[in-house]
Amino acid sequence: MIKVNFLFFIFLSSFIFIIGLTGIILNKRNILLTLLSIELILLAININFIFYSIYIDDFFGQLFALYILTVAAAESAIGLTILVIYYRVQNTLDIRVINLLQA
Partner 1 sequence: MVFIIVLAPLLSSIISGFFGFKLGHKGVAILNCSLISVCFLTSFYFFLDNLFNGSVVSFSLFPWILSGEMELHWGFLFDSLTVVILIVVTSISLLVHFYSISYIAEDPHLSRFISYLSLFTFFIVILVTSDNFVQIFVGWEGVGLCSYLLINFWFTRIQANKAAIKAMLVNRVGDFGLALGILLLYFKFGSFDYSVVFSLVPFFSIQKIYFFFEMDYLSLVSLLLFIGAIGKSAQIGLHTWLPDAMEGPTPVSALIHAATMVTAGVFLISRCSPVFEFAPRILWIITIVGACTAFFAASTGLLQNDLKKVIAYSTCSQLGYIIFSCGISSYDVGIFHLANHAFFKALLFLTAGCIIHSMNDEQDFRKIGGLSTILPFSYFIVFSGSLALIGFPFLSGFYSKDVILEVAFAQFSNEGHFAFWLGSMGAFLTAFYSIRLLFFVFLAPTNGFKRFYEMAHESSFVITFPLIVLFFGSLFFGFLIKDSIIGLGSNFFQNALFVHPFHFRQIEAEFLPLSIKLIPLVFSMLGMCSSFVFYFFNQSFLFNIKTSFFGRSLFVFWNRKWFFDKFFNENIVQVFLDRSYHFTYVKIDKGFFEMFGPYGLTFCCYTFINKLQRIQTGQLYHYTFIIIIGFLFSIFITFFSFDFRLFFIILLFFFI
Given the rule CB under 8 A, which residues bind partner 1? 21, 24-28, 31, 34, 95-96, 98-103
Q: Is the dihedral of CA 9, 10, 15, 20 positive or negative?
A: positive
- Minimum separation from the CB atom of position 5 to partner 1 (A): 26
**Rounded Cα gap, residues 83 and 69, in angstroms:** 21
Of 7 and 101, which CB lies nearer to partner 1 in the complex structure?
101
- Minimum separation from the CB atom of position 42 to partner 1 (A): 15
**Rounded Cα gap, residues 73 and 67, in angstroms:** 10
Of 21 and 36, which CB lies nearer to partner 1 in the complex structure?
21
Of 2 and 103, which CB lies nearer to partner 1 in the complex structure?
103
Q: Environment class of residue 58 by beta-carbon count within 10 Å: exposed (0-12), middle (13-18) or buried (19+)? A: exposed
